[in-house]
Copies of this chain bind each other. A is one copy, B any other.
């Protein structure tokens, strides 16, 4: 195996400090909440139904209830947890680590009868590998059209699933070689059920590769980086990051139930609160040019369109609607006169000098001018991250269920059942 792959694995399988495990716990709680919230979406129902029609061993738990074989459950749970697109993101990975990795880690840990600690450790190694493979695959891989969440995600899911089955490095090496011929996922699916499905297939591919490697399946040593290998065929142009720290430390969580391109703007608004909407005369938003074609619907008519509209989310936020709550993105609110009146005051312009993670706002009010800026790449402290995530989970599921999910992950018990009993 080449140096670059060894470097990725070394970093991913290193002993994690407790602070990094804490971040993984937050991602796990977030994943659990968005999966529960997403389990009724059509893509989640259809994928689960296909797997459940196959029957099989009761190895692992589906979002929405019931049990089935780990590989199929990983497929369905990956799709369910990415259905709402509210899960975590790693900008350097250019992908969503948890939705590809945790379904694989959890399903195999259940099948193996392991506990929360082993599962969490495997999920962290898998996410770390997923981020690092994403960086190795690089911007070229993403730009041409591969969905790193699915492709790098499958390698991450493989690392997580395999380390729950074996501590033999040869098994890990073979599992990664196997998944290199199985990994797939295209950006042409964006905006359709195919996007969440991509997370599910990454998780299932990881489980399959791990089980095959465990059984002695052999593959090519240079399947990833050799001739006709994954890197050569998949427009990969990145390099392994030269750090032994955990890149999962810089994972981002979504605190708003809308397109990630709108989050820096919402965080900048958040920093100005409390602000009386009645005093606002105009809002001028500067954002990275990339987002202008992604999430700048000027007059959204549906809740879905509202999730891709600077003007709409700005009006909602100023009027006090909770943008962490899915219900704030409704068709009805798009028609509400107060919302419409306020969004007419919002102007959005592209600014080349900004990064994709940044926004700058100038707000004119009857009391004077306000300026705010935010960069999502800015580190967020553990206690603030924890508070914001808990608030998001409560907004998504209500306080009572939010608390149960939080406790399932953070409680003292070591049994996986704490978690799986909350997936129904």
Contacts and interface: CB of A to CB of B under 8 A. Distances in A.
Nearest to A49: B215
Main secondary structure of the interface of A (DSSP, over half): loop
A235 B185 CA distance: 15
Nearest to A232: B145
A45 to B, nearest CB: 9
A223 interface: yes
Contacts of A304: none
Interface string A155-199: 000000000000000000000011011111111111111100110
Interface residues of A, number: 62
Interface in A104-147: 144-147
Nearest to A57: B55
A201 interface: yes
A186 B145 contact: no
B53 A54 contact: no
B47 A69 contact: no
B69 A56 contact: yes
A143 to B, nearest CB: 9
A212 interface: yes
Nearest to A183: B184
A218 interface: yes
Contacts of A7: none
Given A145-B233, A193-B219, A223-B186, A212 B46 contact: yes
Interface of A: 42-43, 46-47, 49-50, 53-57, 59, 69-72, 144-147, 150, 177-178, 180-194, 197-198, 201, 208, 211-212, 215-220, 222-224, 226-230, 232-235
22 contacts: A43-B217, A47-B212, A49-B215, A50-B211, A53-B57, A54-B57, A54-B70, A55-B56, A56-B56, A56-B69, A144-B228, A144-B232, A181-B185, A181-B186, A181-B188, A181-B198, A188-B226, A188-B230, A189-B223, A192-B223, A193-B218, A197-B217
